[in-house]
Amino acid sequence: MATVLAFDVYGTLIDTHGVVAELEARLSGDKADLALEFSRRWRDKQLEYSFRRGLMGAYVDFSECTRAALEFTDRAQQTGLSEADKDHLMGTYARLPAFAEVSQALKRFGEAGITCVAFSNGSREAVEGLLDQADIRDRFSEVVSAEEVKRFKPDPAVYAHLRSRLDVEPGDTWLVSSNAFDVIGARHAGLHAAWIRRSLDAPFDPWGIEPDLTVADLDALADRLI
């Protein structure tokens, strides 16, 4: 049984595509059909910008990567969003919903005596807000943010900071993430890792580093670990 489960937040606990309905309402005419594509590209660019800033040593709050990615996607898809639209979408991003099984699965882990922490590239304030609005903040003993070391996952320093904050050994710590880059980063840093493969179409990166476990959702993870 895992000693500590460190849960990634965006895409793992919280559905980043929960913004699609708001995009549909703000994309005019036939462009509303592009909402899901827009959401995916926005998310991909958000991560790309965090990776690039990590390589440059030019840290900013994760929300700045999110806003810049929104600006880029609007330009790339020529959707013509107004500044008010962009402000509204950024507000929506701060209120994204949790995936359906998350709350009950986290309750199962807690009842089994497993320590759960939230572990994110997002700022502590942003993550606390997301967990509060999803009514799952009380499921976590800690929120550990990459902002505390001014780096972004998958930088090894972020995983080292997690271990330092929690005072745990790598082998006693599991990362739980739907993001392959995060799983690979954690395994590279000596942690165990479970990949939440929320889409059956999602391939894992062929880096020669594999997750310890691959499951469809957090209920399936609980079935394996409890």
Supply the residues annotated as catalytic.
8
Q: What is the DSSP annotation of 192-216?
A: EEEEE--STTPPPP-SS---SEEES
**Angle between helix 62-77 and helix 35-56 axes, rounded to 10 deg:** 130
CA distance 226 to 222: 6
3-state SS, residue 180? helix
Closest CA to 221 of 191, 193, 196, 202: 196
Residue 158 DSSP SS3? helix
Beta-carbon contacts of 153 under 8 Å, excluding residues fewer than 6 positions away, are 8, 121, 146, 159, 181, 182, 185
